[in-house]
Structure 1
Amino acid sequence: MTAGEDTAPEATEKSAPTLASRLRDYAPGVLVAATVAVAAQFLSEHYGAPAMLMALLLGIALNFLTEEGKCVAGVNFTARTILRIGVALLGVRISVALLIGLGPGLIALLVAGVVATILFGFVAAKLLGRGWRLALLTGGSVAICGASAAMAIAAVLPKNQYSERNLIFTVLSVTVLSTVAMIVYPLLIPVFGLKDQAIGVFLGGTIHDVAQVVGAGFSVSDEAGETATLVKLIRVTMLAPVVLVFTLVFRATHKSEAEAGKRPPLIPGFVLGFLALAALNSFGLIPRQAADITADVSGWALLFGIAAVGMKTALKSILAVGREAVLLVVAETVFLAAFILLGIKYLG
C-alpha cells in the first residue's frame, strides 16, 4: 500500500466531520452564548432592562473569546444557524386571522409605513454619505420588528468588512430607541387627542421591539395594549416578504458573487420556515400550548444569536460607525412615528 493510499482514509475523515466531532467543536461556543443569554434574561426580569440589549452588551464584553480558541466555531454557529432558527420560529405567532381582524385600511397603512420607512432610510443614508447596506438594515429593522428584523435582513445582505459592525450597531440602536419610545410615547400621544384603540395602533405601528410595544400599550390601558400587540404582530408578518424581496434583488444585482458560487438561494430556508409555521398556525394546526412553547424557543434562540453576534464584535468597531449612522436611525424612527400618526388621523 502506498503512502498516498495510507493517508486517504484520514483525509476523507477530516473532510467529512462526524456529528459527534461537530458537537465537540460547537459545544464550548454555544454554551458560552447560552450563559450570556441566561444572564441577560435574569437582568431583564429582575431589573427591567431589555434582554436583547443586555445580551448584546455582555456578548461584546466577551469578544476576546472569539479571537482564537475553542469557542470560535460554536459562536459562529450560534450567530448564524441558531439565530436563523429563532427568526423562522417567529412564524408561529402569525395567522391570517390577525390580518382579517384589523381591516384593509389599517393593514394598508402598516404596509405603507414599512415601505415608506425603508425608502426614506435609503434616501437619508445617501444624503448622509452612508452605504445602502446600512440603509436597508436600519430601515428594515425600524420599519418591521427591531432586532429580529435586523438579524433576518443581515442574513441575506451581501457581506462586506462592515457587516457585523453594522448589525451590532443596528440592534443596539433600535433596542435603545425602542426602550426610549416605550417610556416617551405614552406620555406624548394624549396631546394628539387619540382614543385608546388609536393609541394602541400608534404604539404597535411605531415602536420597534415586541416587548416594548406590550409594555407601552398596557401602561395606557388593556384596550391599548391588546390593540398595540395585534398591530405589532401584523408588522412582523412583513418580515418574510421584505426579506424575500431583498433576496431577489441581491440575486439579480450581485452577479459577480453568483459566478463565484456565493449566490443566495431564491428563498432563504429560515423564511420558508417562517411562512410554513404561519400557514400552519392560520389553519389552526398548531395547538395553543405548542405555539406558546415554540414562541418561547424562538425568543431564546434569538437571545442566543444576538449574544453570539455581540461576542464576534469589538467595541471599537461599533464606536467607529459614526454619528451619521446614529442620526440615520433616529431620523427613520421619527419618520415612521410621523407617518403612522398622520395615517391614523386620515383614517379617523
Structure 2
Amino acid sequence: MPGIMVATIVGLAALFLSEHYGAPAMLFALLLGIALSFLHQETNCKSGIEFTASTVLRIGVALLGFRIAFSDLVSLGWSTALILISAILSTILVGVILSKLLGLNQRFGALTGGAVAICGASAAMAISSVMPNTEDKERDTLLTIIGVTSLSTLAMITYPIIANTLSLSEYQTSIFLGGTIHDVAQVVGAGYSVSDQTGDLATLVKLVRVSFLMPVVLMFLMIINARSKLNNAGTTPPGFPMFLIAFIVIMALNSLFTLPETITETATTVSRFALLIAIAAIGMKSNLAKLANVGFRPIVLMVLETLWIALFILVALLLI
C-alpha cells in the first residue's frame, strides 16, 4: 500500500502541474518518479511500486479498449486505413533496421518504433510489458517514454505550421496530425489549434491508430514466443497475457453494443490515471546512472522514426 499511495500522489501532482503549465502529464509523472527513485531502494514502498509498474499498468492498457470501436476504422474509409496500417508497420520495421545500424538492441528499435507508430508512452508501456525481462528493459522503457513524449510535444507545435505551409486541406491536415503525432493529448492540442472540425477528425484518426496497439503487441508476442522456442527448446515460452484478452473483449463489447457514456468516460479516466501512476512507478524504478550512459544514439533513432512516419503520411496524402 505505501508504494501504491506514493505513485498515486505523484500522479495527482503530475496532473496538477500539467493543468497549470500545459506540458504533458505523463512527462511530469515520469520526471517526478525519477526524482523519487530512492523510494525503490529497499524501503517498504518497493513492493507497491513494483505492483503499480506492472499490474496497474496492465489494467490501464486493458481499459484502453473502451476508447476504441471497429466503427471508427470503417468511418475513415479503407484508403485512409491502408495508409495508417502501412505507416505503422513501416515505422516499426525502420526502427528495427536503424537500431541495428546504430549499434543498438533490435528489441529497443521495435519498442521505439511501436511507440512512435501507435500512441507514444501508452504503446511503449504495453509493448514493454510483453517483452522478455532483461537488465536494460526498464531503462529502455524510460528512454522511449521520455523521447516520444518530448517529440510529441514538439510535433504538436510544429506540425500545424507545416500543414499550413504546404496548404493542406482540412481533411489532409486532420489525417496528417492524427496519423503522425505520438500521443493522443498532443493530437487534440494540435488539431483544435487549427479548427474544431480538424480537431474532431484528427482525434478520430488517432484513436484508429490506437486500435492497432493490440495487433502489434500480439505480433511482438508471437515473435518472442517463436524465438524462445528456437533458442530454449526445453523452456516454456511466455503465455498469452490476460490484459490483452481483457482489451480485446472490452473493445468487442464497445463495438457491438452502445455502452452508457458514463461507463465509457469513467473507464477511460481510470485508464489514463492508471497509466499515469504506472509511469510514475517506472520512473521510481529507474537508475539515473544507466540513463546517463546510453549516449545520443537512442535519441537519433527516435527522431529518425518520427521523421519517417511524418514523411510517409505526407507523401501518401499528396499522392492519393
Under a length normalisation based on structure 1, what TM-score does the superposition of the two structures give?
0.90
Matched, 1:249 2:256: no
Change (3 A) 1:226 1:252: same
SS at match of 2:226: helix
Aligned to 2:18: 44
Match of 1:329 among 285, 302, 311: 302
CA distance in 1, matches of 2:235, 2:53: 24
Asked if the contact 1:124/1:328 (under 8 Å) is kept, the reply is yes
Matched, 1:116 2:90: yes
Q: Deviations over 1:286-307 (max 9, x none)?
A: 2111000000000000001000
Q: Structure 1 segments of 4 or more deviating over 4 A? A: none
Matched, 1:300 2:273: yes
Q: Deviations over 1:280-329 (max 9, x none)?
A: 11112421110000000000000010000000002222122221111000
CA distance in 2, matches of 1:112, 1:105: 11
CA distance in 2, matches of 1:132, 1:269: 26
For residue 274 of structure 1, report the CA deviation from its aligned partner: 1.1
Aligned to 1:187: 161
SS at match of 1:70: coil
Match of 1:102 among 53, 63, 76: 76
Amino acid at match of 2:162: L
Matched, 1:215 2:186: no
Point out where structure 1 has 5 or more consecutive residues left out of the alignment: 1-26
Q: Deviations over 1:113-150 (max 9, x none)?
A: 00000001111111111111110110000000000000
Give the number of the structure whose alpha-carbon radius of gyration is greater.
1
For residue 258 of structure 1, report the CA deviation from its aligned partner: 7.1
Asked if the contact 1:92/1:278 (under 8 Å) is kept, the reply is yes
Match of 2:151 among 148, 167, 177: 177
Point out where structure 2 has 5 or more consecutive residues left out of the alignment: none
Match of 1:196 among 143, 152, 170: 170
SS at match of 2:313: helix
Larger deviation, residues 280-289 vs 136-145:
280-289
CA distance in 2, matches of 1:222, 1:258: 56
Amino acid at match of 1:120: V
Equivalences for 1:1-348 in 2 at 5 Å?
A: 27-255=1-229, 256=231, 259-261=234-236, 263-265=237-239, 267-347=240-320
CA distance in 2, matches of 1:259, 1:211: 45
CA distance in 2, matches of 1:102, 1:285: 19
Amino acid at match of 2:243: F
SS at match of 1:322: coil
Under a length normalisation based on structure 2, what TM-score does the superposition of the two structures give?
0.98
SS at match of 2:294: coil
Asked if the contact 1:126/1:132 (under 8 Å) is kept, the reply is yes
Equivalent pairs counted in the alignment come to 319
SS at match of 1:193: coil
